[in-house]
Every structure is written in C-alpha cells, then in structure tokens.
Structure 1
C-alpha cells in the first residue's frame, strides 16, 4: 500500500545545508516513510503522515514555517523578519561596543559585555546550530563559523568575534533575500490563475473556488477577466492574451471550438467555456509543477560543485589546523597563529561556492517559463548551451502545418468570381485543402450550390445558378486543355466544357522563420537541417524559403531517428518537433524541443524543453539564455574561488583579519548571487 503523499510550501528555508538538515529531521518522524525537500522551490513533499506542528518542530532550528501547498505563504517584508531585526540589533551593539572600545579600552568589562551582547543577539542561532553540528562531527559553514567565533572569544578578540557574527548574519539575510527573489519566478506563475470561477449551474451563475469546479461545467468569462480553468469555447468571440502561458505577445482570437487556458486574460467579448480539466491538471498547474521539479534537478556543474564542497570543507579545517600548529612549532606566537587559523576557517566557508550554481539555474529556468519556454532541468539548460546542430520537423514546425491558398489565376472570369465559385463548391467539405479555400473566401458572399457530386481522388461537381461547375485535380479535367502550373497542389475550376482558372494550395513557412534560422547560425549553430516525409521538390522549396543549411526528404520516423543518431556522432544535436510523431527523434537527440506544449500533454511530457506556443523565436532565445547562464555559472565559480585564494594568501604576511575574512566570504556570496540575478532581467530576443 502506497503511503499518503502530502505537499507543503516552506518559508524561511535559508540555505542548502539547512534544507538537508530539515529533510533529515522530517525523515526521523516515526509516521513519515519518505521525504523530499526542494530547496529551490521552497517545497516539501512528505510520504506518510505528519502534522504541520511536527514539521515546524523539525525546522525550528532554522525558524522554518510550513503551509499547505494550495495556501499561499504570506510574504514578510525584509525588515520585518525576526532574523533581520536581530541582525540590525546586533549591529547597534557592535557600534556601541566600538564607542566603548575607543573611549574606555578594549579590555574594559563594559566593552566586552557590549560585544558579547552583539554576539549573543546576532549569533545565537548560528552558535546553537554550529555547536550541535560539532558534537555530531558534521562540518558545514555554520560549524566553521562557530569554531571561529568561540575561538576568537577565547583568545580575547571580542570585537572581531562580534563583527564576524554581524557580517555572517548580514550575509545570510542578503542570501535569503536573493533566493526569495529567484523563487518569485515560481510565485509569479502561481499568481497567474485566479482562485475562483463563475460557473453556470441550474440556470444560475455562482462564483466558486476552482477546486470545486467539475469537468464539464459551463464557465462564464467576462471581458477583462482572467480565465480560471482550461476549457473549450462553446459560445462567444474574443481576443485572449495568453502570454503568461505561451509567451505570445499578441492576443489570440478565440471562437467556438477554440481552446483557452487558465491564467490567460479575456480582453474583449464575453466567452462561455466548457471546462475540460480539473484545477490541478490545468496547463498552468502542470507548468508550475514541471518548473519546480526542473529547478530541483541538479545540473552537471552543480553536481560537480557539491562533490567538490564535500571534500573542500574538511580540507579547509585541516589547513586551518596546520596554520595554527606549524608556525608556533618553529617559534612563532601561538595567539597570533591561532587567530590566523580562525581567519582561515572563516574565509574558507564554501557558502559562495555552494550557491553559485543553483541560484543561476533557478533564475534562468524561471525566466524561460515567463517567456513561454519550459526547460525541464538544469542538465537540459546546460546541454542547450553546447548545441551546434538543430534538426527540425517540417510540417507544423517550420511550416504553419495547414495548407493555404498561395495563388489565384483566372482565365475566363475575375479572380473574385473564381473564388466565389470555388468557395460554393467546397462549402460542405472538411478536407484540409477545402478549409484553405474556406479561409480564403471568408467574408465573401457565396452563391448557392446544389446537386453535389463527389469524384473520389479527383474532386467535386455541383450546380450553381443552373450551370454545372467542377473543382479538382488534373484527373477531373483530363479531357480539357490545362494551363501549365509549376505548383504541386493545384485545384482547377471550370465547367464540363472549359477550364476557367485555378488556385494553388501549399503549406507555408511560419512568419519570420528565416530570421530565426539566421539567429541560430549567429549563435554558433553551424548546421540546421529539415527532416520531412514530404516529397523532395516540396521539401527543397520550403528549405530555400526557410534558410536551413540541409534538407532530408521522404523520410519515415525510423529514418529521422537514424539520421539523428548519425548527426550525433559529429555534433551536439537539438531536435525540434511536435512531440507526438517525432517522439523517438526527440528522445534520441541531446536536447528534444517540442512545439506547442500548451496544446498537447504529450509535448509537455515527451521533450526536454517545451515551447508553450508555436513561436520559433523562442529557440534562439533559449539557446542565448542557456549560453549566458553557463557563462554566469563559470564566472560565479571563478569569483568564489578567486576571492578565497586571495584571502588565504593574505595569511602569509599576517594581513588576514577575522572581519576581513568574513567580509571576503560575504563579498563572494553577494557577488555570485547578484551576478546570477542578472538573468532575471533577460528579456525575450
């Protein structure tokens, strides 16, 4: 029997080490079978039974607050948080202590007492947690800081100990603030969809919570309102802004049969919508879930940093011990080198290094989600940065996926008359080519057609105003002399006696597709290839119009898969398709990118990256974002290690003080966080 699954939101989760400790404490609850803490999303998943009181007791060491998943955790302003208020109070005592330091001396009881108050107020939680870790031989950054503070107090460096406590508390506060900013990318998604919907039941309009809306309910959406549930329009016409879901900047027209998404905004007319998904299964709910899971997944760089930090912390402790012991063996002053050893402990805190990668990954994935791109993990974000070949499916990916009328040629009548006859003849057909003519003749006044007759594989005939007209391919007009046409799909229009003209129909490239292919080439993608099952001449024509560097035509799905395998031998390949018939190729490519993820569950589940709309410009945008993210991660790791090395070198001439050590550590942490947060400002290209 499967254990009950409970999901909670967390507030006050300050660091990755705290998340690990909290997870361990929750796992120790007897009624809990398993637990997972998602630090990036501040989310807790418990398998088993645990009350909020029990969970908050498990997180009491870090003042963690626990809320049910569907309840929005209250936002506490920076200055109202208890730990931040204590930090400011600690600063006050540090400042007063320094007044006494210069007025009555550093060894005066009043000076020492004031600095001690600063240490207790600002460092109580730090020393409590660090001491507990020390007793358990768990060495993290709080353990190192605790040893340094207690050691400084023992050797009489009260002022230094107080400054160290304040700067560390300030660093923790700013780090927490920065992580909250990064997590807001998820919170902003959660705020997209309204919590209540207007439903029509028993001929009455009622407003109810979205959790109480049932599939099949009729939902009323007024102009200017946010759509509360996914559904299909059954009455009404309007333009809907669905930028929050698909990233499309232009509102999309919705009419009978159109799909609408929770969180999109109805801009004009009223809509009557049949609800098709429950609140937990809406597209926006799935996006939030997948983004949270993606942000929890560790990228290769982060896995390396975590492994490095695991050995780095003990190495720093050994180095600090050697700094304390070796110089005094050769006659140096013990107190001086104990002080230097404590400074090594402080500067060696791996805080900046540990946070350098996850804050960049969290921010980048959140940025992509707001732009209509769902990246399902840091590993895919990193791989995307190294892509140098992109393979595209043709139909529905490079092209719009439906035929349109490309040319109208009248021989005996005007073009308008020819289209009116074609529209009347095709008025009852639902064939894709017929729909192309429907779209072309929309708004025209069409004559009435009767006595329809269908010729399988050839076309249609009908009587209009007493005259029998025909529309179809060359086989339907085999007894007539046909004008030469170079297009592949041609519909001739005429009577039994003559051909009056023709229309050509073709699938068209998406708008601006050539510009997006050019953008890919500029980003270092050397090979762009179109894979299609279409005939060679049609494929090559589309290939020329789109600007791809290579065309492979008349392929079956297994042929596409074989080509991707071959291309992977010399390139790092991304495959772009619709997520259904291209599933094998999407899975085989280094990165699989599905188009139109908002329209199909299959696309969202199949690929590594889902473009929620059908906008090809999101591909260059995503590659650019991934390259920028990888560059920032490398910069962060370099900055974190560089500042540590520089500070450690200051030990040799004896210039490294405790406050300078913590300042270097805090500076490194702030630098990497602020550097990563630049990704929040990255807009769509």
Structure 2
C-alpha cells in the first residue's frame, strides 16, 4: 500500500490466543469488501483498518477465534468478566468426557470399550471445535499453520484408533492457548494500566459554577480545580497556586517536583500539597500521557529484527515439518516393511511436536514486556528494533548543554576592575541583557533577581547587538558594552584565562575601551554525569564522546571533569552529524543523546537517537527513537541493561523453542515419540519461553 486512505479506524481486540491467530485475523480483515488495508498490533491487542467497513464486519472476520472488538480510546472500559466455568465451558466439558472415558473400563458397564471411545470422540469434538473450524478451512485453502497441523494430527490419531491420545492432544493444546493468551495479557497490562493513571473526571469552573465533568468532555481553555491529594486529569498551565507534584507516572522520577504559577502540569500526575487552579491546554487524546500510551502501543507493533527472523523461519518451518512427518509415516513401511500403524502414529507425533507456538511467541512476549517496563520507568522506546540495537551499542555521543550539563547558565564570578560597586554593575549589565536574545542573558537576569535588583527600571537607549562580539546601550548618558574581550583592548587576559581554564564562558563589561568588570558564566555540570560515563565504560561501551558548539577550552574543561574519552568543540549541527556518521563507520552501533531539537540531524542519523526531557517537548517525543521523559541520565545504563537482558532472553527463547523440537524429533529414530510427549514438548516450550519473557518485568532502573 503506497498511501494510507483518509478513513482509518482502530479497535481494541479481546480474545487473541496466539500470534498465528492474529496474523490470520489480519488477513481475513484485509479481504473484506471496502477494506484497503489492515494492520494487527498483536503486542497491544489492536487492529487498525484502512477503508470503509463496519465494526460488525471486522468482528465477523475474527469469529473463528471468538474475537471481540471495542472502540479505541484513552479509557480502559472494564467489561464484566465471564465466570471461569462459562468462559471455558468447552474445556471443562472436554475434561469431563476424558475422565468418563478413562473410568468406564473400571465400572464393569457393558460395551465399555465402545462407550469409552465415544466419550473420547465427544471430548475431541467439544474441546476442539474452534480448532477444527479453522484447521479445516486452512486445509481446503492449503494454508498450513499450527491449527492445520493439529487438525491433521488429531484426525489421523482417530483414524488409527488412538482416540484417547487424540483427546488429550486437544485438551493440552487448548490449555496451551489459554496460558499463552494469559501471559500476553500480563505483558500488555503494563501499558494498559497507564490508561487508569489519569482520573476519569475533574472539577471544572463553567458559567461561574464548579461542576464535575468527564475527562472526554473537558475542552481547551477550561479552568480545572485540583485539591491536595488529587490526581490531575488533563495537561495544563497553573493559573493560581503552587504545590509539589509527583510526576512518577510520566517521567519515572520518584521525587515530587515544585510547581508554581505559569508552569506546566501533566495528566496523571499527583498534586501532593497545594490547591491549584489549572487552565487546560490539551484535550484528552492529545495529553502527554495519551501520546506516551499511543507511541508505546505503536512500538509494540513494530517488528524487531529477531521477530522478522522468526517470521521468515516459521514460514518455511511449517511446510518442512509436514514433509518430515509424511516421510516418517510412509518411508519405514514402504522401504523396510515396518508396521504402518506404528509409523503413521510417529508421523502424527512429528506434526504435533512441530507446532511452532513456542517459536512464534518467543520474541513478542519479551519485546512487549520490556517496552512496558521501560514506559513505567519514564522511558519511551519507540520500537523493538531500537530496544535490540541498544544492547549492541559500542559508542555513545552526548550533546553538552542540557544533556551532560543542566542547560541553565549561571553567573559564577564578577571580578570588579573599576570603582563601581557589584550591585550597580549587575543592575546595568542585567538592564542591557534584558533587551538581548542571547542564550546567556537569562543567567544575568536570574542573578539580578537573586540580588533583588530592579534592573527593569533602568532605561537603556540605542541598544545594539554587535554580531560575534556582544551588546551595547546608553544608560544614564553613558554608552556601556558587554561581550567578548574583542570589545576591549585592555582587558586583563590573565584573569580571563583563569576563568576559561575552569570551563567558564568569559564576558567583559565596560565603557568605550575601559573594562569595568570581568564576568564568568558557567553551565553547571549535572551531578550524575561523571558517574554515568564511568558506569557506561564499566558496562563495556568502548567510546564516549562529547559533541558541542561551545568554546574549545570550556568544552575540554567540562569533558575532562566528566570523563568522556573524546571531546569535539565548536560544532554546528552539520558537523555533529558528520562526526556521528564517522563514529558509526568506526564503531558500528552508536547512540546520540541530545535534547531532540538542536541535535535533530545527529539524533536521526545515529543507530539510536535518545532525547532528554521528552515530557516537556513534543519534538523529543516525535523525533527521537527513545525519549527519557525526565532529564535523568541515570536512566541510560538502565535501558542498556534492559536491552541486553531482552536480547539474552530472546536468544534463549529461540534456542530453547527450536532445541526442544529437535530433541523431541530425535525420539522418532528409536520410535519413542508419542503424541503425549509431542504435545507436552510443545506446551512446555510455550509456557517456558513465556515465563522467561515475563522475567523482564523484574528488571529495575537501579542496580
């Protein structure tokens, strides 16, 4: 499909038992009249339909599996759960018939053999009718999946008189599907639970009155009242009040954040102390929480490289198993005069043991679980491919400002050269910077406010910006200059050199050629930066680089203090991009960590682009492969550990799923393979790879 049609509808799907059934459902929907394309997201249990068709038609396409659809949205509507006995009545009936069949020979009832066979047959029909319904249709269309294999095996068992084993195979296969469905639901639950974080309603001021309004009906511009201890229902800006807000649900940070008037709050976060009046800025489907849920669910639908391998392998694996089963059934009797019933039975056992359930589920359960775990820890991983690539990283490149440093420059030194007092100097410098757009201007204004200086009342005339040098303006009839040493011929170079060696940006303030003060401005290094770089080296990351547009001396001072192995300064965005490409050529897999805006080209070109502070910027959510929702670099080693563990578990699962099949197939040689062993091998493998994948839920974001 080259272009998506205008009409698109997404549904949540209940009742998936296996990845193979999801693929079958997708194909069925694609063939519906009016449907241009359909895509099933097995990880998130959703289907997106492109084209014009009804919900009923889509649901009918999933009737073979008893699938149920509900409208997609931000609310997790809990349907009344069916009692166990009603939901699995076919399974319970099948067990009852099997117990009757095995007990009849001991009762002394006449025709017990016939009645026993009849009970086994009833168990097969009752327990496997949905299996046969799909299996027969597939057989007629020459589509060979696991249900086709099982159907052939059970029919074959009945033909050669192995009714009991046929019934047990049906029962164990049904139990295997129930366990598989349960485990995938458990993995999905980590994301679905995010939907319940935001409250379903909020207290809103409408027409001068306070009314409780459902979250779906809250509009942009509404005024929301949030009392202490309540969760915030929508994204918005604080109009009145201040409080500590627990943002763990969005950013993964456990320590509450102080929020004041004018600051942003997110849906799903907890107002711990103060009373807040918040103006709503986004509708429910556009909140940061909604975007996180949407992007994570989309990520679960993206096929990881290992999943692509499994899909291709399974495509050829099933026909090969059928061919092997046929050869096992006919070669010994035809060429060596062996007993037909024995070897047909062995061939049927090969069909059952060849069922690729465990192999198909091996990757998705690990990917879905890992992405869900990361999301609950404030990290958005936008696809299985990025999760896997993280585990193979050899080098990590960092932007400096806002990544390794706090991104909040501060005035650290004011060296007075003339007779003007520091307060007067700061007032005049801040008055000039108040008119400036320079990134360092905020540092001066912040310092002036800390000193309680009324710099806004200081009139500045004929303000000018001197490109590459600084700024100037007339205050109290005198023209003042603030900027680089290029503005002053007599600036004391030794004092400036000392500040530069400390990694600070140096500015000079004065009149004409007379400097009055030297100012040191520094962007403070994050407390954790050095610790994180050291931890990455200990984890086996071969190269760490700092790429910055800052001055060489400043960059080298900060880089050496943090401990990165290579420092590149004075770089424009294109130069950063070139360096990332060069590192990828040298090391292979390279991650770029930046703010998601200035570093967009480098983030896009790297193997994995990691954006800082995703909760605050839509750009980071959209452009990066991974977003750290909180500006916390300590999450970086955690996601690399999570990725490596995921890769290990996927390899274990694939190896085990294939290994157990090969081991069971080897039992054919001495003729020891039975239908019991075959189905236990299949069910056991499925259960083990699933439980192994769910171990990823236990990976914590701290050692």
Same fold (TM over 0.5): yes
Q: Does 1:62 align with 2:73?
A: no
Deviates more, 1:338-347 or 1:612-621: 612-621
- Counterpart Cα distance in 2 of 1:364 and 1:13: 20
Aligned residues: 677
- Whether the aligned pair in 1 keeps the contact of 2:430 and 2:455 (CA below 8 Å) is no
Cα gap change, 1:52/1:659 in structure 2, threshold over 3 Å: closer, same or farther? same
Q: Which structure 2 residues correspond to residues 104-503 of structure 1 after superposition, within 5 A?
A: 108-329=113-334, 330-407=336-413, 422=426, 426=430, 430=434, 433=440, 435-436=442-443, 439=446, 452=459, 457=470, 484=495, 486-488=498-500, 489=505
Deviation (angstroms), 1:406: 3.5
Q: Which structure 2 residues correspond to residues 551-566 of structure 1 after superposition, within 5 A?
A: 551-566=567-582
Counterpart for residue 522 of structure 1: 538
Deviates more, 1:44-53 or 1:263-272: 44-53
Deviates more, 1:280-289 or 1:399-408: 399-408
Scaled by the length of structure 2, what TM-score is found? 0.88
- Whether the aligned pair in 2 keeps the contact of 1:492 and 1:502 (CA below 8 Å) is yes
- Whether the aligned pair in 2 keeps the contact of 1:421 and 1:447 (CA below 8 Å) is no
Cα gap change, 1:81/1:226 in structure 2, threshold over 3 Å: closer, same or farther? farther
Deviation (angstroms), 1:314: 0.6
Q: Does 1:97 align with 2:101?
A: yes
- Whether the aligned pair in 1 keeps the contact of 2:432 and 2:471 (CA below 8 Å) is no
Deviation (angstroms), 1:445: 6.0
Please point out which of 648, 673, 684 is paired with 1:656.
673
- Whether the aligned pair in 2 keeps the contact of 1:425 and 1:462 (CA below 8 Å) is no
Counterpart for residue 46 of structure 1: 49
- Whether the aligned pair in 1 keeps the contact of 2:433 and 2:444 (CA below 8 Å) is no
Q: Deviations over 1:398-427 (max 9, x none)?
A: 1111212445779999xxx95798479748
Deviation (angstroms), 1:316: 0.6
- Counterpart Cα distance in 1 of 2:494 and 2:547: 33
Q: Deviations over 1:590-626 (max 9, x none)?
A: 1111112222222111121122221111221111111
Q: Deviations over 1:64-101 (max 9, x none)?
A: 11111125353666962755343233223323332235
- Whether the aligned pair in 1 keeps the contact of 2:431 and 2:459 (CA below 8 Å) is no
- Whether the aligned pair in 2 keeps the contact of 1:390 and 1:573 (CA below 8 Å) is yes
Name the SS of the counterpart of 1:35 in structure 2. strand
Question: Structure 1 stretches of 5 or more lacking a match?
Answer: none
- Whether the aligned pair in 1 keeps the contact of 2:490 and 2:515 (CA below 8 Å) is no
Name the SS of the counterpart of 2:495 in structure 1. coil
Q: Deviations over 1:263-294 (max 9, x none)?
A: 11211112222222222221111111111111
Q: Deviations over 1:625-676 (max 9, x none)?
A: 1111111000000000111011111111222111111000000001110000
Please point out which of 56, 70, 84 is paired with 1:80.
84
Q: Deviations over 1:208-229 (max 9, x none)?
A: 2333322222222222222222
Q: Does 1:601 align with 2:618?
A: yes
Deviates more, 1:313-322 or 1:618-627: 618-627
- Counterpart Cα distance in 1 of 2:617 and 2:90: 50
- Counterpart Cα distance in 2 of 1:601 and 1:190: 19
Cα-Cα RMSD = 3.2
Scaled by the length of structure 1, what TM-score is found? 0.91
- Counterpart Cα distance in 1 of 2:433 and 2:359: 65
Counterpart for residue 648 of structure 2: 631
Counterpart for residue 531 of structure 1: 547
Q: Deviations over 1:190-239 (max 9, x none)?
A: 22222323322332222223333222222222222222222222222111
- Counterpart Cα distance in 2 of 1:487 and 1:459: 23
Name the SS of the counterpart of 2:683 in structure 1. helix
- Whether the aligned pair in 2 keeps the contact of 1:530 and 1:548 (CA below 8 Å) is yes
Please point out which of 27, 31, 34 is paired with 1:28.
31
Cα gap change, 1:598/1:420 in structure 2, threshold over 3 Å: closer, same or farther? farther
Please point out which of 584, 589, 599 is paired with 1:582.
599
Counterpart for residue 590 of structure 2: 573
Question: Structure 2 stretches of 5 or more lacking a match?
Answer: 465-469
Cα gap change, 1:443/1:88 in structure 2, threshold over 3 Å: closer, same or farther? farther
Deviation (angstroms), 1:327: 1.1
- Counterpart Cα distance in 1 of 2:350 and 2:455: 91
Cα gap change, 1:290/1:217 in structure 2, threshold over 3 Å: closer, same or farther? same
- Whether the aligned pair in 1 keeps the contact of 2:43 and 2:301 (CA below 8 Å) is yes
Name the SS of the counterpart of 1:654 in structure 2. coil
Deviation (angstroms), 1:548: 0.8
Cα gap change, 1:303/1:236 in structure 2, threshold over 3 Å: closer, same or farther? same
- Counterpart Cα distance in 1 of 2:163 and 2:176: 20
Name the SS of the counterpart of 1:570 in structure 2. helix
Name the SS of the counterpart of 1:199 in structure 2. strand
Counterpart for residue 620 of structure 1: 637
Cα gap change, 1:99/1:538 in structure 2, threshold over 3 Å: closer, same or farther? same
Cα gap change, 1:305/1:483 in structure 2, threshold over 3 Å: closer, same or farther? closer
- Whether the aligned pair in 1 keeps the contact of 2:427 and 2:455 (CA below 8 Å) is no
- Counterpart Cα distance in 1 of 2:340 and 2:559: 76
Cα gap change, 1:104/1:119 in structure 2, threshold over 3 Å: closer, same or farther? farther
Name the SS of the counterpart of 2:324 in structure 1. helix
- Whether the aligned pair in 2 keeps the contact of 1:239 and 1:251 (CA below 8 Å) is yes
- Whether the aligned pair in 1 keeps the contact of 2:433 and 2:445 (CA below 8 Å) is no
Cα gap change, 1:203/1:325 in structure 2, threshold over 3 Å: closer, same or farther? same
Counterpart for residue 543 of structure 1: 559
Deviation (angstroms), 1:143: 0.9
Name the SS of the counterpart of 1:484 in structure 2. helix
- Whether the aligned pair in 2 keeps the contact of 1:391 and 1:528 (CA below 8 Å) is yes
Deviation (angstroms), 1:145: 0.8
- Counterpart Cα distance in 1 of 2:671 and 2:640: 47
Deviates more, 1:551-560 or 1:120-129: 120-129
- Counterpart Cα distance in 2 of 1:419 and 1:353: 72
- Counterpart Cα distance in 1 of 2:491 and 2:556: 31
- Counterpart Cα distance in 2 of 1:529 and 1:201: 54
Name the SS of the counterpart of 1:108 in structure 2. helix
